[in-house]
Every structure is written in C-alpha cells, then in structure tokens.
Structure 1
Amino acid sequence: MPPKTAYHDALGDYFAEHAGISPYNAYTDRPAMLELAGDVDGAKVLDVGCGAGHYAVELLARGAQVVGVDGSRTLLEHARARVGERAEFLLHDLEEPLNFAHDASFDGAVCALVFHHLTHRVQLLRELHRVLRPGGWLLVSTTHPAADWRHFGGSYYADDWVELPLRGSPFSIRFQRMPLEMFLGELLAAGFALERLVEPRPVPRLREVDEAAYTKLQQAPSFLAVRLVRP
C-alpha cells in the first residue's frame, strides 16, 4: 500500500504544479529555507520528502550533490523530469528507517513542509541524526502553530490531526497540529542543537505577481523554519 503521508496520483500532479508557483511554496517557504541552507557548494544533501524536485533544482544550482527521497511515485516522476540525471531520487516511505543511507554519509538534510505529515517523526529524526556527519545541518519547515490556531480554532496547544482543504482544488491534506514547544521539543530531544529559527515572510517579487497574497503573508505567519546542527 502506498504511504499515506505522500501525495499520490492526481494530488501529486496538483502539488507538482502548485509548488512551482504558489505564494506559500515558491515565494515564502523555499526562499527562506534556501537562505538558511547558506553555502552548499560541494555538500552532499539529503532532500527528505523531495516532492517534485523544486528544492533539488535550487540546491544543484548552488553546487550541492543531492539525493532526494519521497514516498510518491507520481512526485518522483515529476522530479526526474525536472532534474534529469543530475540527482539521485529514491522511492522510500518516510515512516520507515532510512536503510538506504550509511552512518555520517550526508553533510546536510532538508525537510521542507513534510515533518507535520509524519506519524513516526521521532524515528525519522533519529535516522537523520545517524546519517548526518558530526557538524552536519538539518533544515526543517512546518506550518506555523499560530496559523493553524487561527484557521482551525480551539486550543493553541492542540495536537490533533486535521484535514486542510486546498483552496481551488478538490484535494485536502492531512497533518498534525503542533504547538511550538512540541515542534522544537522533538527536534532537540533527537540530539540536534538549534542554530536559527525564522518565521518566513514572502520575498518582495511576490508583490509584482500577487499583491494580495504578498500583503497577507507579510501580516500573518504561515510557516516556521529552523536550522539545526548535529553536534
């Protein structure tokens, strides 16, 4: 059975197109995460939940060697079409151990807007700690708990699983709400040290594309993004 946490078939096709142009993905989350990555020239990077290869393209352009993993065949087809042979892409259920990777075999890892979809997050974090070399870095982005609180209501401290309809489409995505202390607590308990935390804002060029979205994203947070290091 295909992993429940991945985007399959028509949802995968929708996400592949949407992630390339969305104010949230293309103009807010991805620029912030790439800024957190810094200089990746010569680094071997694991793209965890690589989707349609949008991060792989950017990391390759900056000189990284990229291995992308995702549980969706649909999205990996898009990634290979976008990137070609310049990166290695693997079909892998992120709820399972990263048994394809040796200890200390990566310089860095990117986990963009995937963490909150997963059930076995603690296991994944332990695996990332294992496959990163000492001093290696991990970037994680997730939905902002304040944004989830505003949208779904109830208690800010709720950690329930929710369904979010994707506006303008017949699809929805399922993820777990997490207050800030839960999100950071899981990362730190896995042995990582926090270097930076940012609340991504849209890049200025979004204003020329969609001024309403730019104004909205400047006023209310949508995501959290962190850079951690493996001691």
Structure 2
Amino acid sequence: MPADPESSAEAADVAVENDYDSFAEAYTVENETSLINAYYARPAIVNLAGEVAGRRILDAGCGAGAVSAALRDRGAVVAGFDFSAKMVELARQRLGADVDLRVADIAGPLPYPDGAFDDVIASLVLHYLKDWTAPLAELRRVLKPGGRLIVVVNHPIIFKMVYREADYFATSKWSDEYTFNGQKAVLTYWHRPLHAMTDAFTAAGFRTAVISEPPPAPDARELFPDEMARFPSGAFLSFLFFVLEAV
C-alpha cells in the first residue's frame, strides 16, 4: 500500500489515470469469477434491482457488460456506455449488436433523451470522480420521474482503514495497485464521507431509499474458503450500495 493518499495520487498522475483500455481484457477475465465482482457486487445489484422484466435500464460505466447481461437475463431492456472504448467492445461481444452500447463520459452530457430510462445502474464509477454534481444531474435527467438510480461506490470506511491518519471528512484523492489476471494496474479514486454522498444525491433530486452493506452470495464461502475464513459473520466491507429514487 502507498504510504499516504497524496504520494499515491502523485504517482498515479505520471500516467493516464484509470486507463481501462490498457487492461480491459485482464480486468474482464479476473472479474468473471472473482469474489468481489461475481459473488458480491453483481449479485447485490441484481438483488437491489428486484423485478426488472420490461424495464428500460441504463448501465452507466458498463465495463464489459456483466451487469447488463445479468439484468437482461431477467427480462430488462438494457443499454450501456463506458468511457473505455475497449470495454465497450468487450460488452458488444458479450451482449450482441442489438444492445445500444456507446462510448461516453459520465462526467459530460450523456447521449440520451430526457426520461429515457426506468432505472440507471452506476456501479463502481462515481468514486473515480472528484465532483459528482454534473454526473448526478445527467443521470437524473435521463431517468423518468420516479425512476431509480442504483449506485455502488467504495465504502468510505476503506479509505480510513488504509490511511489511518487521514481526515475522513475531507474529499481526498488516493490510489491503489491491483493485479488483474496477472496484469498490474493502478486505480485512482476520490474518497468522500458518507454524508457528502447523501448530500450530493439530495441536491441532484434523489431520495435515498436504501443504503446497503450486503453479504456476498451464499455460495461464496464454499468457493472462496480462505478469503471468507477471515469473516466469521459471513459479511465484509468493500463497497457501499444505494438505491435512489428520482423525485
């Protein structure tokens, strides 16, 4: 782990931050069967989404399309976008040419009309951004009134666990190094405290309906015995999940 968030951020600035094009295939292979993605984040999203048959769902930051595929299998009409052209290419391979997939930046205007979707999924994307104001406004715009935004971000306690001397209440940039299917990659995040998240949701026109710290899928303990042995309760902290309603 880096010694502090400032030095880690400086190191990450040497190269393009969060350059998923450079490790898209390795990231996708790793996450097809990983504990954190395949048996924790994705099942939790599907569970929070509930009955989605016939609902129009936008996967914001869709990556290689695993969440979209899971929701489509349950009858949703899915569309998606990602900043990484390589990730969108992999999503097209998974989902087929009939799914509306685009290269777009969540930090800029989105290429969709007002009220186009019943739900939006923003999984593991907002924590890459310092300012949530414009992205949340756009996600609110493309949702129909009463639509839902399901957000997944790094749990804010993780930052404090890694950097024990850091100010939890400050918005802070930090980075960490990962190995995806044998390929090293650096991801750079923006930490913000919980109240800053919920304040931003409210300011953007959302009502917070659910805040969830879910357990992994039931078969995780059998499939990942060594990792899960560290968590006698059967649950662990990695991400924080929200269901927001457009008001």
Partner in structure 2 of residue 229 of structure 1: 245
Q: 1:5 to 1:85 in 2, by over 3 A?
A: farther
Alpha-carbon deviation of 1:151?
1.6
Q: Does 1:192 align with 2:206?
A: yes
**Cα distance in 2 between the residues matched to 1:5 and 1:30:** 24
Alpha-carbon deviation of 1:7?
4.0
**Cα distance in 2 between the residues matched to 1:213 and 1:15:** 20
**Cα distance in 2 between the residues matched to 1:190 and 1:86:** 32
Q: CA RMSD in A?
A: 1.7
Partner in structure 2 of residue 49 of structure 1: 61
Query: SS at 2:51's partner residue?
Result: coil
Report matched runs for 1:127-206 at 5 Å: 127-153=138-164, 154-167=166-179, 169-206=183-220
Partner in structure 2 of residue 18 of structure 1: 30
**Cα distance in 2 between the residues matched to 1:152 and 1:200:** 24
Q: 1:86 to 1:215 in 2, by over 3 A?
A: farther
Residues 6 and 71, structure 1, Cα contact 8 Å, conserved in 2? no
Q: Quick one: which amino acid aligns to residue 147 of structure 2?
A: G
Query: SS at 2:184's partner residue?
Result: coil
Partner in structure 1 of residue 80 of structure 2: 68
Once structures 1 and 2 are overlaid, which stretch shifts more, 101-110 or 195-204?
195-204
Q: Which has the larger radius of gyration?
A: 2
Q: Which runs of 5+ in 2 are unaligned?
A: 1-15
Q: Quick one: which amino acid aligns to residue 20 of structure 2?
A: H
Q: Does 1:213 align with 2:227?
A: yes
Query: SS at 2:23's partner residue?
Result: helix
Query: SS at 2:147's partner residue?
Result: strand
**Cα distance in 2 between the residues matched to 1:215 and 1:181:** 32
Alpha-carbon deviation of 1:186?
0.9
Residues 134 and 230, structure 1, Cα contact 8 Å, conserved in 2? yes
Matched length: 227
TM-score norm. by structure 1 comes to 0.92
Query: SS at 1:170's partner residue?
Result: strand
TM-score norm. by structure 2 comes to 0.86
**Cα distance in 2 between the residues matched to 1:6 and 1:63:** 32
**Cα distance in 1 between the residues matched to 2:199 and 2:34:** 30
Residues 56 and 87, structure 1, Cα contact 8 Å, conserved in 2? no
Once structures 1 and 2 are overlaid, which stretch shifts more, 114-123 or 74-83?
114-123
Residues 69 and 92, structure 1, Cα contact 8 Å, conserved in 2? yes
Q: Does 1:31 align with 2:39?
A: no
Would you identify which runs of 4 or more consecutive aligned residues in structure 1 move more than 3 Å? Answer: 4-7, 215-220
Query: SS at 1:227's partner residue?
Result: strand
**Cα distance in 2 between the residues matched to 1:219 and 1:63:** 29
Q: Quick one: which amino acid aligns to residue 198 of structure 1?
A: S
Partner in structure 1 of residue 112 of structure 2: 101
Residues 60 and 66, structure 1, Cα contact 8 Å, conserved in 2? yes
Alpha-carbon deviation of 1:224?
0.4
